[in-house]
Amino acid sequence: MSGKLFDFEARRLGQVGSAAPGSDKEVSTVLVCNNPLVRLGLRQLLAGTRFVVSDAAYTAEPSLDGSLGPSPDLFIIDGNGPLEQVLQSIDRLKSQNPRARVVLIADAFSLEIARSGRNAGVNGFCLPASGCEVLIKSLELVMLGEVVLPHSLIDALLDGTTEAGKTEECSTDSGTKLANPIVGKLSTRETEILSCLSAGEPNKSIARNFGVAEATVKNHLKSILKKIGAANRTQAAIWAKENLPESTETVLRS
């Protein structure tokens, strides 16, 4: 999930830090996510809001021994994994914490996922591409007892299509996703380094891959961060996953 996850620019704190009137009570929040980049992105996104992220139970396989401590108010679950695994996680968490709200975040939702999720007790479905402010407001609505669906899922229901989220991406006539225009401003080497970064490789490994000094990699990274508007390598890695053409990443890792 995602640069799109969730627009890690500095403006996020100023835009989404305020809660609705009368809703300043802290919300104990647990992230259920196996991807460390997505997990870190969500933690940074929620910083400064009333959604206080717990340090417990980060993976999609939380233990059954009550290690979560006091029952959380909210679970935010990465829904990009296999549907059966996601539903099992939801069922397990809801059985242990029946009063907790559940929000599913994924790059796209099919009607099957939405129906299955609602039957399992999901209160909200959110698309990372919707942006920071929309996500926070969606969480607020969920905590007020509302069910939240992305507008694209509602459109899919009305239009009789089967999937929401994918339609928001730019594509060519052949269905190939178009690269972010910023990608064109990156040099070939910067693109290569970004791809390695998205794979979680450290600077030393990247330097070895291309036969350059580690200092050279650091210089490239400074240039990359400036061009894509990222504050650190974590944000850059997430941006790369969302914006580099898939063919580029496949070739570089083959």
Q: What is the pLDDT of residues 100-139, one digit of tens each?
A: 999 999 888 888 888 889 999 999 999 887 778 889 999 9
Supply the pLDDT for residue 168. 41
DSSP character at residue 60: S
Instruction: Identify the helix (H) or strand (E) that includes residue 31.
Output: strand 27-32
Supply the pLDDT for residue 165. 52
Parts of the chain with a pLDDT under 50: 2-22, 62-66, 166-179, 247-254
Supply the pLDDT for residue 122. 95
245, amino acid identity = P
28, amino acid identity = S
Instruction: Identify the helix (H) or strand (E) that includes residue 77.
Output: strand 74-78
Contact 60, 33 (CB under 8 A): yes
Q: Which domains does the chain have, with CATH numbers?
A: 11-167 (3.40.50.2300), 181-253 (1.10.10.10)
Supply the pLDDT for residue 146. 92
In sign, the C-alpha dihedral spanning 61, 129, 110, 157 is positive
Contact 68, 30 (CB under 8 A): yes
* Distance (Å, whole) CA 3 – CA 230: 9
Supply the pLDDT for residue 63. 46
Contact 77, 90 (CB under 8 A): yes
Supply the pLDDT for residue 109. 83
- Write the pLDDT tens digit of every residue in 6-22: 443 333 433 444 444 44
Supply the pLDDT for residue 151. 80
